[in-house]
Structure 1
Amino acid sequence: MKMDRYSRQILFGQINKAGQQRLSESTILIVGIGALGTVISNQLVRAGIGRVRMIDRDVVELSNLQRQILFDEEDAEKSLPKAIAAKQKLEKVNNMVEIEAIIGNASRDNIEELTDGVDVVLDGTDNFATRYLLNDICFKKNIPYSYGGVVSSRGMTAFFLPNKTPCLRCLSKEGTNGNQTCDTVGVISPVVDMVSSLQVTETLKYLTNRDEYLRNTLRTFDIWFNQQYDIKLNKPDPNCPTCQLYQYPALQKKAKEEEIVLCGRNTVQIHLLDQISLEQLELKLSGIQSLNRTPFFLKAKINEEITLTIFPDGRVLVQGTEDQMYARTIYDRYIGS
């Protein structure tokens, strides 16, 4: 029988058959299929979520394998897009789950569509700009937001419920989040598993109508130095532009962000065009040091330091620098407009 695979989960009285049925009828969105996102998607697909929509802009690299559990050396050798590699693995785990993999960047231009019909949004990102975007769209559309973050041996997570808890902006103001990243101070895999598991646990409670057991705290911990703190999610900030003033700053149209430094990646993303023909660009770049075109992207090694990864949706990753002006110079030289 179809439900036999979930028999041990159904035996857990807090889920039981009714809860399992609710899971099978639920839709989740996972933004970011890296360290957190691979664990989150693996656990929820195995748990029998009905539909999983996931989006990630990056490709698998060898340095990911230490903590991003769905990927292997072959994925890294092929530089597969993370969303595609994850979908391929997860479909072998549970073919009863409908999995939608999107190669791209969650932005104010597509976040409304990404969250359509979604019951919970789970955070697998590595930067606060995207987290504020998720926070704002969730509170605008009354969707629970399962937040998580990791760096070094430290983790942080909360389950934000519109109209019931404060939001991320109430607890973490823009511009006050520091600048440590996995690239500068590293990260160990166990903290990733712990944060992701807490995110999934709160999601399962909510989707099975067990709201009374939601933790209702912002939990932070350091598993190496044996520290743990819980901050109660009490009253929201009365001046919060998201959950109190309903302004949703991350959703407001601004001057186009043409260059964005990607957190911890020594990479600048440039997005000037709506689409790029990989075939035509491959011909244009045929004289450079190294080219590799797949159905998903074109990778061009310009020199020992700089590599361009070009996507059909117009995004270009200038890998090897965080200098936006230099990245734009490289872009203009090889891509143009």
Structure 2
Amino acid sequence: MNRYDRQEKFNKIGQMGQSLIESKKVGIVGMGALGTHTASTLVRAGVRQLVIIDRDYVELSNLQRQTLFTEEDALLSLPKVVAAKRQLEQIRSDVTIETYIDHCDSAVLHDYFMTCDVLIDGTDNFDTRQVINDFSYKTGIPWIYGACVEATYAACAFIPGTTPCFNCALGSLPVMNRTCDTVGIIEPAVSMAASFQSMYALKLLTEELFESKLIFGEVWNYEQTALKFSRTKKSDCPTCSLPIFPYLSDHQHETMLCGRDTVQFRKVTEKQLELEQFLNNRHIEFQKTSYFIRFSFNSKRFMWFPGGRLLIHDVKSINEAKVVYHQLFG
């Protein structure tokens, strides 16, 4: 039996739509809760080419809602994109997956995502979404927003040349300034956001003409709303009206990771041997794997990745992280 028989029988997709799905490339920014859900759904639906990026590694607290990971992945502290790729290849052996263990910024998007047909937001970071939004409207590649916290969820497709952009629609989006680490999250809220993201992705991949709506709801109390936003376009929007794409030129050296008590520093040193020599000279013990170097200093946990990215854990602010950083590196 045809692997996609049931999907092809759905009259909105059919054999032609299935062929389109298999011919397209999808980029997913972030392999957390939303990213793992949508990656699994789309590979099962027939997507054969994926580009995935995430700057983090698997922890036990991820397993409650991030569906492609196991306890073994967490115990090994595997990078999320590495663990995700292994599981996705178990779903479809001939899938082609490009993986990047990195922070998503303007340069990364231009280097790795230019050939994608659609981008999916799997981040938990407002600034990164602004970069994706600028990149999308500059290149013409549509992107699909998703968010969830507590029992609430939201999703929307932003399509250059068709819809207003993320900046224009912000006033209509539900306020989600809470974070999972403070108020928690339940998996059904993740599933709802990811389901709507996947639905929008399938529409875009099969080239269906549709009206994108802002979808948001609350699973615990059975509430959901879908709003039109075609009239939210702002004449002075720097992304989709002027356009000057301000977020593509913003290169922040330090970033606070949402809900992690962790700060990321960009480009500390790109030379692994140089870092190892530095740590040896300071008599700091470290663990080295194929993916990172991990060590502790002044009761703070550090993790360095090839390419120069450094995470400092157990800090409450960027300023605190800077103090520890300069105590170590001067």
Contact 1:276 1:311 in 2 (8 A): no
Tell me which amino acid in the other structure corresponds to 2:270.
Q
State the alpha-carbon separation in 2 of the partners of residues 195 and 92 from structure 1: 24
- Cα distance in 1 for partners of 2:19, 2:329 equals 50
Which sits farther off after the overlay, 185-194 or 228-237?
228-237
SS at match of 1:157: strand
Q: Distance in 2 between the 1:227 and 1:276 partners?
A: 52
> Which stretch of structure 1 is more off in the superposition, 290-299 or 130-139?
290-299
Q: Which amino acid aligns with 1:259?
A: E
Q: Contact between 1:288 and 1:302, CA under 8 Å: does it hold in 2?
A: no
Q: Which residue of 2 aligns with 1:231?
A: 227
Q: How many residues align?
A: 326
Percent of aligned pairs with the same residue? 39
Query: Conserved in 2, the CA contact under 8 Å of 1:202 and 1:215?
Result: no
Shift of 1:239: 1.8
Over residues 44-66 of structure 1, what are the superposed CA-to-partner deviations in whole Å (9 max), with x where a residue is unaligned?
11111121000000000000000
Aligned twin of 1:243: 240
2: distance between equivalents of 1:226 and 1:288? 57
* Structure 1 CA distance for aligned equivalents of residues 90 and 317 of structure 2: 41
Q: CA deviation at 1:97?
A: 1.5
| Residue aligned with 2:303, SS | strand
Q: Which residue of 2 aligns with 1:194?
A: 192
Gaps of 5+ in 1: none
Residue 113 of structure 1 and its aligned partner are, at CA, apart by: 1.9
Whole-Å Cα distance in 1 between the matches of residues 112 and 175 of structure 2?
Answer: 26
**Inter-CA distance 157–288: structure 2 relative to 1 (3 Å threshold):** farther
**AA partner of residue 237 (structure 1):** K
- SS of the equivalent of 1:118 reads coil
TM-superposed CA distance for 1:267, in Å, is 0.7
Q: Which of 110, 114, 124 is the aligned partner of 1:126?
A: 124
Consecutive aligned runs of 4 or more in structure 1 exceeding 6 Å deviation: none
Counterpart amino acid of residue 332 in structure 1: H
Worse-matched range after superposition: 229-238 or 285-294: 285-294
Q: Deviations over 1:292-313 (max 9, x none)?
A: 2111111113355x10011111
Distance 1:331 1:98, change over 3 A: same
Structure 1 residue 112 and structure 2 residue 110: aligned? yes
TM-score with structure 2 setting the length: 0.93
Separation (CA, whole Å) in 2 of partners of 1:41 and 1:32: 10
Structure-2 change in CA distance of 1:217 and 1:178 (3 Å): closer
Give the alignment of 1:157-176 within 5 angstroms. 157-172=155-170
* In 1: Cα distance, 2:6 partner to 2:225 partner: 32
Amino acid at match of 1:126: D
Confirm or deny: 8 A CA contact 2:156 2:214 kept in the other structure.
yes
Q: Distance in 1 between matches of 2:238 and 2:50?
A: 30
Deviation for aligned residue 1:283: 4.6
From 50, 66, 81, the equivalent of 2:64 is 66
TM-score in terms of structure 1 length: 0.91
Within the candidate set 140, 143, 146, 2:144 is matched to 146
C-alpha displacement of 1:322: 2.6
Q: Which moved more, 1:268-277 or 1:134-143?
A: 268-277
SS in 1 for 2:287: strand
Separation (CA, whole Å) in 1 of partners of 2:176 and 2:219: 20
Alignment partner, residue 317 of structure 1: 311
Q: SS in structure 2 opposite 1:172?
A: helix
Matched AA of 2:230: N
> Hey, what's the Cα distance between the residues in 2 that align with 1:73 and 1:303?
29
Could you tell which deviates more after superposition, 313-322 or 230-239? 230-239
8 A Cα contact 2:268 2:310, kept in partner: no
Distance 1:215 1:148 in 2: 17
Superposed CA deviations along residues 269-288 of structure 1, whole A, max 9, x for unmatched, are 111436131x4433533576
Provide, for residues 157-210 of structure 1, a one-character-per-residue CA deviation record: whole Å limited to 9, x for no partner: 10111111111100117xx96631111111111111111111011110121122
Q: Secondary structure at the match of 1:69?
A: coil
1:270/1:328 contact within 8 Å kept: no
SS of structure 2 residue aligned to 1:285:
helix
- The code of the aligned residue for 2:290 comes to P
Q: Which runs of 5+ in 2 are unaligned?
A: none
Q: Distance in 2 between matches of 1:201 and 1:288?
A: 53
1:91 lines up with 2:89 in the alignment = yes
For 1:81, the equivalent position in structure 2 comes to 79
Q: What is the 5 A alignment of 1:202-213?
A: 202-211=200-209
Match of 2:218 among 215, 218, 222: 222
d(CA) in 1 for partners of 2:278 and 2:134?
Answer: 41
1:297 aligns with 2:292: yes
Secondary structure of residue in 2 paired with 1:5: coil
Whole-angstrom distance in 2 between the partners of 1:285 and 1:23: 49
